[in-house]
Structure formats: structure tokens, C-alpha cells
Amino acid sequence: MRMRLLPALLMLGCAWVGCLRADLKPAFAEPNLGKRSKLALDNAAAALRAAREAYGKGDNQKTAAAIEEIRQSVDLAYDSLMQTGKNPRSSPRWFKPAEMATRDLSKKLDTFQQDMDFADRAMLDQVKARVQQVHEELLLGLMEGKRK
């Protein structure tokens, strides 16, 4: 009985891990721009987990691909929010969670970079700068007063 159960559990475990893999296709398919930005930022968090896992295994090629996916996800989220045409100050429903998610992502990227070998840290510089830039633009939009 145990011998039959083990392969089934292994297959179930592999399917579950496959669900965690980062993928931007559902975000691109989402017609609601606010939800699209949330899906993209969720994908960025999943890509960061994948990058950490790949780096832990010593696979720099997969790490670089996951880091690029983080950048693409953050750009998609920001572009989707800007395409809504809404004022972040008066309609913060999707903007505030995006601002908080980018702040959290920025902190996690910084921690990941500090955990990396010194020689490998440069691969995160550009994506960290982009995430920080998006965070600052979202925060400025939320905190900015009325235009005179």
C-alpha cells in the first residue's frame, strides 16, 4: 500500500510546486487593469522566490531569468495602473496595495542581494533600482496634494 501511495504523493507534490512557478500569462490575460497589476506583483514575488531557489542551487542562468521576470512583472503592474487613468490620491484602491507590495519587494531584493556572493550582487542592481523607482512614483502619486 505504501509503495503505491509514494509515487502518487510525489506527483502531487510536483504539481503543487509547478503551481508556484512564476508566470505572467494570467496577468496579461486579465482585462481589469487593477487586478492585472496585483497579479503581476504576485508574480514578481513568486519570481523572487524562484530566483532565491535557483541561486541556492547554483544555477545563475535561472537566477538571471527569474530576476528579469521580476522586472517585467513590476513594469507590467506599474503600466497597468497608469493605464487606468485614475488619480492615485482620489482612487487608491489598487495603488496603495501596489505601493506596499513594491516596498516589500524592494526590501526582499535588498536582503537577497546581501545574501548573495559579492561577485554576484551586481545582477540585482538594475532590478532593485527599477522596483525602487516604481515604489517612489506610486508613493508620490498617493501622497501628492491637489494640483494648483
Amino acid identity of residue 142, one-letter, is: L
pLDDT at 113 over 80: yes
> CB–CB of 28/77 below 8 Å?
no
pTM, two decimals, is: 0.82
> CB–CB of 68/101 below 8 Å?
no
**Locate cell 501628492: which residue?**
144
Note the pLDDT of residue 144: 86
Note the pLDDT of residue 1: 47
Note the pLDDT of residue 9: 41
Give the chain's length: 148
Tens digits of residue pLDDT in 39-96: 999 999 999 999 999 999 999 999 999 999 999 999 999 999 999 999 999 999 999 9
Q: How confident is the model at residue 5 (pLDDT cuts 50, 70, 90)?
A: very low
- Which of helix, strand or coil describes residue 94? coil
